Amino acid sequence: MAGIIEQRSDLNNHRVFAMWEEAGIQFRSNIITKVGGVIPLHAHSYDHVAVCTQGNFRCEVDGESFEVMPGSKTFIGKGKQHTFILTAQAPGEILCIWPCPRG
């Protein structure tokens, strides 16, 4: 079923996000509203791709740190700990994309 699954604010981390699904794919738009804002360190039980649409970020995946700029994409494997920190150009957006779980 297509449509918004969840919308939330994480004001402590200067983050708002919305998650939805369409055509068998799930999406999460993470908007970071302030330089220094963060998508906290976490992992998932699925592979996914993170696309930077705006802002400059420092990304860390399993302890490896690198810069992420608009237009770049990052593959994040299942179970890999990862985080994104906005370093410049607020607001910033990381759009995460993964297949819908099969029931």
Q: What is the pLDDT of residues 49-95, one digit of tens each?
A: 999 999 999 999 999 999 999 999 999 999 999 999 999 999 999 99
Answer yes or no: are the C-beta atoms of 95 and 51 closer than 8 Å: yes
- Residue listed under structure tokens 């449509």: 3
Identify the CA nearest to 94 among candidates 42, 17, 23: 17
The tens digit of pLDDT for each residue in 64-76 reads 999 999 999 999 9
Answer yes or no: are the C-beta atoms of 99 and 25 closer than 8 Å: yes
Q: What are phi and psi of 78, to 5 degrees?
A: -50, 130
C-alpha dihedral (100, 73, 40, 57), degrees to nearest 10: -160
- Give all domains of the chain, ordered by start, each with its CATH number: 3-99 (2.60.120.10)
